[in-house]
């Protein structure tokens, strides 16, 4: 990611679009948007699916605060301590995700039926006033294998998308009932 100009220090929002691979009756593959579920009714932010996240700077700062738990290199610790990283300054930055979600964050249907699911995640960053700051796209293949499967063949479940939406809907309902 190239940061070519100073980024806003007051607010950065992120819009996430999640598309799921679906196969039609005629075996043609398409990409269907997964709608946002369980967003905050006050500001329309957060949730699961294609949602808007309004407080990316706060999320970034929380990540930096907890980084010392995972960073064991003195030079890296020193760099994090001495530099303003939220938002990142000008330059070329590489972001590496070794883990995006824990099992608890994902709907159970990801891990319930044996399946292979493909997703396109499109991230769009703005300054909170619709000025575009950057965007990125990530392709994810979520795959499960049978335990005794020596050939490691990916097993697909034609009902995975329906199960995914049902699970997200029930999670959103639980969030709403908790928040009263």
> Worst-scoring range by mean pLDDT, 18-22, 32-36, 82-86, 115-119?
115-119
For residue 43, give its domain range: 2-55+93-179
Q: Is residue 144 within 8 Å of 112, Cβ to Cβ?
A: no
Predicted confidence band at 146 (pLDDT cuts at 50, 70, 90)?
A: low
Mention every residue, 6+ apart, whose C-beta is less than 8 A from residue 37: 47, 48, 49, 168, 169, 171, 172
Name the more confident of 8 and 178.
8
In this prediction the pTM is 0.61
CA gap 179, 46 in Å, rounded: 14
> Worst-scoring range by mean pLDDT, 56-65, 105-114, 140-149?
105-114
Number of residues that this document lists for the chain? 180
Find out whether the peptide bond into 87 is cis, omega within 30 degrees of 0.
yes
CA gap 36, 44 in Å, rounded: 10
What is the number of structural domains in the chain?
1
Q: Look at the block and give the residue holding tokens 């709907």.
A: 107
The pLDDT score that the predictor gives to residue 105 is 57
Query: Do the strands 2-3 and 13-23 form a parallel or antiparallel pair, or are they unpaired?
Result: unpaired
Q: Is residue 74 part of a domain?
A: no
Structural element, H or E, at residue 169: helix 160-179
Predicted confidence band at 113 (pLDDT cuts at 50, 70, 90)?
A: very low
Q: Is residue 111 part of a domain?
A: yes
């Amino acid at each position: 990611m190239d940061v070519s100009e100073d980024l806003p220090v007051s607010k950065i929002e992120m819009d996430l679009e999640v598309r799921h691979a679906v196969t039609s009756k005629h075996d043609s593959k398409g990409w269907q948007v997964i709608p946002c579920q369980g967003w905050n009714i006050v500001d329309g932010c957060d949730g699961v699916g294609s949602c808007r996240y309004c407080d990316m700077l706060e999320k970034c700062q929380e990540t930096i605060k907890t980084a010392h738990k995972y960073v064991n290199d003195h030079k890296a610790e020193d760099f994090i301590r001495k530099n303003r990283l939220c938002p990142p300054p000008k330059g070329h930055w590489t972001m590496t995700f070794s883990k995006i979600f824990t099992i608890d964050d994902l709907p159970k249907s990801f891990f319930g039926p044996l399946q292979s699911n493909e997703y396109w995640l499109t991230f769009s960053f703005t300054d909170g006033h619709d000025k575009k700051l950057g965007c990125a796209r990530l392709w994810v293949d979520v795959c499960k294998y049978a335990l005794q499967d020596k050939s490691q063949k990916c097993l697909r479940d034609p009902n995975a998308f329906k199960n995914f939406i049902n699970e997200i809907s029930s999670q959103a309902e639980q969030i709403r009932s908790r928040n009263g």
